[in-house]
A and B are shown apart, each in its own frame.
Chain A
Amino acid sequence: MPFVHELLKYRSVAVVGMEKNCGKTECLNYILRRLPSDGPGVCVTSIGLDGERTDQVTGTAKPEIILRSGMFFATSETHYRSRRLVSEIVDVSGETTALGRLITAKVALEGKVILSGPSSTLSLRRWMDSISGFGIGLTIIDGALSRKSSASPAVSEAMVLATGAALSCSMPALVDRTAFCVEMIRLPEVDEQKLPEEQTLTVSSMAQEVELAPEVRRIEVSGALTDRLLARLLTERRLPDIEVAVADFTRIFISPDSWRRFVRAGGRLRVHRRTALLAVCVNPLAPNGYRLDSDLLCRTLSDKIQLPVYDIRRQCEDEA
């Protein structure tokens, strides 16, 4: 699968699911199995808790994370103790998780482990800095439920997006919602050429009023971009002349409807830092047993987003 080799061009990659049971862990295991053993040192962790045998929310069976010899991983003390592999501890970090301190170890004998890494992007970043001395060339971050933040460029240079029938059993809705997410991830970057101070206005989504001076050319959104703020900007006649900028796509919390209205009105949204989207993986099976046509889903989504889309389980079966 070509995108696995793409991963090796980056120092940190997040695997993010759009919803629980979208096949994120399966996707991660797929990647881990196929990474070349003679490549750079690989370290795997999660933001929050992942790799549990059964889903904590829906109770469905979940694949565990399987790590090969030579790989590094980081997990909480509690889950380190319950590992089913042989590993050599290389660091006990001051960073703590809800389940104890963060343990970094190198696998000596392949097996399974539950990952429960740092709970915030800030502590994840600190941990990544702290392990820089172990010869790790690629850090893979398993983003837990609704933790798009793990794919923030502040932490990950690139990402793999997992989507599936768990998000919606209606194929058009699933395709639309995924395509919208992909559109946000691939928003163009701000031209970082510094504008004169009077041409930039910094606003927060919490602001009650947005008063635009005639010379303003860029609105910098501090924090999250919400529907409320977008609706307020839509009332602005000069919207086509103004660029709206956010730090990165993880700060965008708008609905597809608001987005379409904004675009129709001539609005332009930019990000300061972009995460490279390497691939989109789909799981056509919903937790309630409903199955979408895998081929049709991959084809429709791929046409819409102009990126290769993979059904990981199918890929594994084909390869077997």
Chain B
Amino acid sequence: MKLRDIIDSPCGLRYVIDSLPLASGYALRYLMDTEALTAPEDIAAAYSRMRKHLSAAGDGNLVSMLHSILCSLKDISHTLSRIGAGNTVDDIELFEVKALILLGRRVSAVLEKASQTSIAPHTGDLEDALKVLDPDGTEIASFYIYDSYSPELAALRADIRREADADRRTAMMDREQALEAGIRERLCQALHPSVPALQRLQEELARLDIDLAKAVQMLRMRLCIPEISTSGVTSYKGMYNPYVKEVVERAGGEFTPIDLSFGDGPVVIIGANMGGKTVVLKTAALCQWLFCFGMGIPAEEALIAPRERVFFISGDAQDMGAGLSSFAAEMKAIDGVVRASAEAQDGSRIAAMIDEPARSTNPIEGTALVEALVDILGQREVALLLTTHYNIPSSHCTRLRVRGMEDGKMNYRLCPAPEGDVPHEALNVAESLNISPEWTGKAKKLLEYE
């Protein structure tokens, strides 16, 4: 799965990606096309790369300098493929090849000067290619078919400069352009052996831009590098959702970081409305996906198990386009997890975060559906994190509860809730929202009657 496939998942992933300080549009497209990492060794390598960029990321001047160079990085894969296939490209494309080599050399020089050679791109094998495109050795990012490529061309151009007759000048310009075309063909042939090194350089520069941006973001947003779990258990200390945290803080509030552990049997979160259950679920999904792309994790500490598949199913999955009701859309989405777990050799390689499944149906059938789901996915060892208002017996799962209303204020932290009925706090919460007393009062009386 590529990043672009999941970027708009409603867990806040786009917010984190948008706040990555990337210098070039090409690096963003490269990142979007990156496949999610699933193998522990690949994820470890991605974080190790990011660690190598942390020292550079802490140097504001160096980052500014690199940004001002890398912002010119462009995707010239098509040009490189054409040269690689033996085609002749025009001056604009040759200019871009030359600009890429010079950009790589400038980045390397800046990093070498800052004693950051370990993250510098390799440009040593592009000396020949640069000589082809910079015959006068000016190292200036400009290009045309220089006089120095051919004495015949230089002489003809000198003649054109002296020629006053318009018709003769036109004929001479035709000859000049034919000579240029021949030289261009020769240049492309000379560049042919350097194409793999040029492709490598372009990729290295995009990855430098991305890794540097990840490292800068980690320092700015105070993210953490997670440990890779081998037991299948994922646990967070002080986990937060960067988007929700910003919204809360902008409104003058304070975000409550959450401690959470799951992956060793299903975890069901119960608790009051507005108690942050959905935010916990979204943040767990966000963290899992950030982990798959080797990015900093919004938590004080994180231990994360790699998964091959991650499902995040939010309760508001009404699919009008497909003509499905919210219940039908949700059931179909959850069924995707059930079927994937049935087909998987190892269910623990699947993580599923499901927000209030079957919420839109009657509580009797809803409870049965959720209990059955927890049972099935639990047996298949899927790392399940689920929120619900239904009373699911603790024999099937670990139950956590939002602490809920305490002294008129919501405590968002989670605590174990091994036994008993689900909290009945809807009316308290409604009252704290200033809902019409006529309505809440009547509801209370009905409950007393029951």
* Chain B residues whose C-beta falls within 8 Å of the C-beta of A269 in the assembled complex: none
CB atoms of B142 and A109 under 8 A apart:
no
A residues with a Cβ closer than 8 A to B are 69, 77, 80-81, 84, 86-90, 92, 94, 101, 103, 105-106, 108-111
* Chain A residues whose C-beta falls within 8 Å of the C-beta of B173 in the assembled complex: 84, 111
- Nearest-Cβ distance from residue A70 to partner chain B, whole angstroms: 12
- Residue in chain A with minimal CB distance to B74: A92
CB atoms of B142 and A92 under 8 A apart:
no
CB atoms of B144 and A92 under 8 A apart:
no
* Chain B residues whose C-beta falls within 8 Å of the C-beta of A101 in the assembled complex: 92
- Nearest-Cβ distance from residue A124 to partner chain B, whole angstroms: 20
- Residue in chain B with minimal CB distance to A109: B157
CB atoms of B157 and A89 under 8 A apart:
no
* Chain A residues whose C-beta falls within 8 Å of the C-beta of B92 in the assembled complex: 77, 80-81, 89, 92, 101, 103
- Nearest-Cβ distance from residue A162 to partner chain B, whole angstroms: 25
- Nearest-Cβ distance from residue A300 to partner chain B, whole angstroms: 36
How long is the Cα–Cα vector from A84 to B174 in the complex, in angstroms? Answer: 9
How long is the Cα–Cα vector from A281 to B104 in the complex, in angstroms? Answer: 49
- B375 at interface (Cβ–Cβ under 8 A)? no
Report, nearest first, the 8 A-B pairs whose CB atoms are least far apart: A88-B144, A89-B95, A90-B142, A88-B142, A89-B143, A109-B157, A84-B173, A89-B91
- B211 at interface (Cβ–Cβ under 8 A)? no
How long is the Cα–Cα vector from A110 to B163 in the complex, in angstroms? Answer: 11
Within 8 A of A (CB), among B133-183: 141-145, 157, 160-161, 173, 176
* Chain B residues whose C-beta falls within 8 Å of the C-beta of A69 in the assembled complex: 161
A-B contact pairs, 8 of them (CB 8 A): A77-B92, A81-B92, A86-B176, A88-B144, A90-B141, A103-B92, A109-B176, A111-B173
**Which residue from B96, B99, B143, B160 sits with its C-beta under 8 Å from A88?**
B143
**Which residue from A77, A89, A94, A110 sits with its C-beta under 8 Å from B142?**
A89
* Chain A residues whose C-beta falls within 8 Å of the C-beta of B74 in the assembled complex: 92
How long is the Cα–Cα vector from A226 to B81 in the complex, in angstroms? Answer: 54
**Which residue from B90, B91, B143, B161 sits with its C-beta under 8 Å from A109?**
B161
CB atoms of A86 and B144 under 8 A apart:
yes
- Residue in chain B with minimal CB distance to A80: B92
- State how many residues of chain B have any CB contact under 8 Å with chain A: 18
Prevailing SS type, chain A contact patch? strand
CB atoms of A109 and B160 under 8 A apart:
yes
- Nearest-Cβ distance from residue A135 to partner chain B, whole angstroms: 13
CB atoms of A92 and B157 under 8 A apart:
no
Q: Contacts A81-B90, A89-B91; is A106 near B161 (CB within 8 Å)?
A: no
Q: Residue among A77, A86, A87, A105 with the most chain B CB within 10 A?
A: A86
* Chain B residues whose C-beta falls within 8 Å of the C-beta of A77 in the assembled complex: 92
- Residue in chain A with minimal CB distance to B177: A84
- Nearest-Cβ distance from residue A83 to partner chain B, whole angstroms: 10
- Residue in chain B with minimal CB distance to A103: B92
Within 8 A of A (CB), among B55-78: 74
Q: Residue among B92, B99, B141 with the most chain A CB within 10 A?
A: B92
Q: Contacts A81-B90, A108-B144; is A92 near B96 (CB within 8 Å)?
A: yes
Q: Could you give, for residues 76-107 of chain B, a 1 whenever the CB lies within 8 Å of some chain A CB and a 0 otherwise?
A: 00000000000000111001100100000000
Further contacts, 12 of them, CB under 8 A, given A90-B141, A92-B74, A109-B161? A84-B173, A86-B176, A88-B142, A88-B143, A88-B144, A89-B91, A92-B95, A92-B99, A103-B92, A108-B144, A109-B157, A111-B173
CB atoms of A86 and B96 under 8 A apart:
no
- Nearest-Cβ distance from residue B106 to partner chain A, whole angstroms: 14
* Chain B residues whose C-beta falls within 8 Å of the C-beta of A103 in the assembled complex: 92
- Residue in chain A with minimal CB distance to B143: A89
- Nearest-Cβ distance from residue B282 to partner chain A, whole angstroms: 35
How long is the Cα–Cα vector from A131 to B53 in the complex, in angstroms? Answer: 32
How long is the Cα–Cα vector from A94 to B92 in the complex, in angstroms? Answer: 13
How long is the Cα–Cα vector from A106 to B143 in the complex, in angstroms? Answer: 10
How long is the Cα–Cα vector from A90 to B143 in the complex, in angstroms? Answer: 7
- Nearest-Cβ distance from residue A215 to partner chain B, whole angstroms: 37
How long is the Cα–Cα vector from A139 to B40 in the complex, in angstroms? Answer: 56
How long is the Cα–Cα vector from A87 to B91 in the complex, in angstroms? Answer: 10
- Residue in chain A with minimal CB distance to B147: A108
- Nearest-Cβ distance from residue B225 to partner chain A, whole angstroms: 34
- Nearest-Cβ distance from residue A292 to partner chain B, whole angstroms: 29
How long is the Cα–Cα vector from A76 to B186 in the complex, in angstroms? Answer: 26
* Chain A residues whose C-beta falls within 8 Å of the C-beta of B95 in the assembled complex: 89, 92
Q: Residue among B99, B141, B144 with the most chain A CB within 10 A?
A: B144
CB atoms of A106 and B160 under 8 A apart:
no
How long is the Cα–Cα vector from A314 to B164 in the complex, in angstroms? Answer: 22
How long is the Cα–Cα vector from A81 to B181 in the complex, in angstroms? Answer: 12
How long is the Cα–Cα vector from A21 to B347 in the complex, in angstroms? Answer: 75
How long is the Cα–Cα vector from A92 to B103 in the complex, in angstroms? Answer: 14
- Residue in chain A with minimal CB distance to B94: A89
- Nearest-Cβ distance from residue B70 to partner chain A, whole angstroms: 14
Q: Residue among A77, A89, A103, A111 with the most chain B CB within 10 A?
A: A89
* Chain A residues whose C-beta falls within 8 Å of the C-beta of B96 in the assembled complex: 92
How long is the Cα–Cα vector from A86 to B183 in the complex, in angstroms? Answer: 14
* Chain B residues whose C-beta falls within 8 Å of the C-beta of A111 in the assembled complex: 173
* Chain A residues whose C-beta falls within 8 Å of the C-beta of B160 in the assembled complex: 109
- Residue in chain B with minimal CB distance to A89: B95
- Residue in chain A with minimal CB distance to B141: A90
How long is the Cα–Cα vector from A58 to B90 in the complex, in angstroms? Answer: 33
- Residue in chain A with minimal CB distance to B90: A81
- Nearest-Cβ distance from residue B153 to partner chain A, whole angstroms: 9
- Nearest-Cβ distance from residue A114 to partner chain B, whole angstroms: 15
- Residue in chain A with minimal CB distance to B145: A86
- Nearest-Cβ distance from residue A87 to partner chain B, whole angstroms: 6
* Chain A residues whose C-beta falls within 8 Å of the C-beta of B145 in the assembled complex: 86
Q: Residue among A81, A87, A108, A110 with the most chain B CB within 10 A?
A: A108
CB atoms of A86 and B157 under 8 A apart:
yes
